[in-house]
Amino acid sequence: MTKTKSAEAPTLGNTHVREYLDYLSAVRGVSERTLSAYGQDLSHFCNYCHNHGIEPEKATPEEVRLFIGDLSADGNASVSVNRRLSSIRGYYRWLQRFSFRTDDPSSPIKNLKTPKTLPAFLWEAEMAHFSELPDKAGILWPERDKALILVMYSAGLRISETASLSLPKLEKDISGARIMGKGNKERQVFFSEEARLALISYLEARQEKIKAERPTDRLFISLKGAPLSVPGLRWIINKYGERSGLGKNVNPHSLRHSFATHLVNSGCDVRVVQELLGHSSISTTQRYTHVNIEGLRKVYTKAHPHGGQRKQ
């Protein structure tokens, strides 16, 4: 079996694929990041088809299955393979919808099994310690970084939502904001009093960094006054994660996971958490209901004198 040429730079020469991506952007309101991922996935599939003398629009279920099999054989993780299969499914559903073909060759193909893992999160005491790091570490920009950590955590924001958050979207009393989430869905989020006070302190310092010739209304900016990008935000959080001494891989998504876990553990209705997180499906939110039990089990196993012993 010939392996996919995943090392090659993907090319997007298929007219229907380009039209599909335009549709996702203009009609479905898909974000640039997601659109880029779909384009990469479909480019690799089109390259594979062309290398094997197949027209992507006329591929059979067996040919799609062979592509998925080659991805696995190349050592791609099951999560990555399933993501590419999802992109292919979306493309063929679009072809069906607009009568470019009558069937979906990807429909008989099942997702690969993936290991079930609980989201990484910080316990309340760990989160309190992490949010105090900017005051103690003496690195980067303490006022900004403290506000950044507390805003992301207290509102459960995605990193992309944090990067795009602008001053006009803040409530007048800095108690919350309107967030544009996935699929261009807007939702209301709230800031804790600690986050609100940190934001007020940061906004005063922020004003001094704004350049008159290049003003920006983005909330979080660099020391040079430019809007912080997603990679920039990730780098800042990761930097404090390295300094935390918590022994955990603390990243931007850890703050969102911690927000959801703490709400669920405090008895908050899972549908309220779903609304605050901006999840389209309740099943995505329900995984947090299992975090507390599993976390308690780990604490028990580690702390109890007989917790690690099994009955013979």
The size of the chain, in residues, is 312
- Whether 182 is a known active-site residue: answer yes
> 44, 206, 256, 262: which one is catalytic?
256
> 44, 158, 257, 262: which one is catalytic?
158
Asked if residue 194 lies in contact with residue 154, where contact means CB atoms within 8 angstroms, the answer is yes
Please name the amino acid found at residue 82. Answer: N
Burial 132-146 (b: 16+ CB within 10 A, else e): ebbeeeeeebbbbbb
Asked if residue 156 lies in contact with residue 276, where contact means CB atoms within 8 angstroms, the answer is yes
Q: Which token pair is 55?
A: 């027209």
Asked if residue 189 lies in contact with residue 171, where contact means CB atoms within 8 angstroms, the answer is no
> 38, 91, 153, 288: which one is catalytic?
288
- Whether 288 is a known active-site residue: answer yes
Q: How far apart are CA 139 and CA 237, in angstroms?
A: 12
Asked if residue 256 lies in contact with residue 158, where contact means CB atoms within 8 angstroms, the answer is yes
> 84, 196, 262, 279: which one is catalytic?
279
Q: How far apart are CA 52 and CA 30, in angstroms?
A: 31
- Whether 304 is a known active-site residue: answer no
In DSSP terms, 221 is beta-bridged to 227
Q: Which of 168, 158, 184 is nearest to 32 (CA)?
A: 184
Q: Which of 223, 247, 211 is nearest to 145 (CA)?
A: 223
> 182, 209, 239, 290: which one is catalytic?
182
Asked if residue 127 lies in contact with residue 153, where contact means CB atoms within 8 angstroms, the answer is yes
Asked if residue 65 lies in contact with residue 1, where contact means CB atoms within 8 angstroms, the answer is no
Asked if residue 140 lies in contact with residue 149, where contact means CB atoms within 8 angstroms, the answer is no
Outline where DSSP puts E strands in 136-289: 176-180, 186-190
- Whether 279 is a known active-site residue: answer yes
> 253, 290, 306, 310: which one is catalytic?
253
Asked if residue 216 lies in contact with residue 227, where contact means CB atoms within 8 angstroms, the answer is yes
> Which residues are the active-site residues?
158, 182, 253, 256, 279, 288
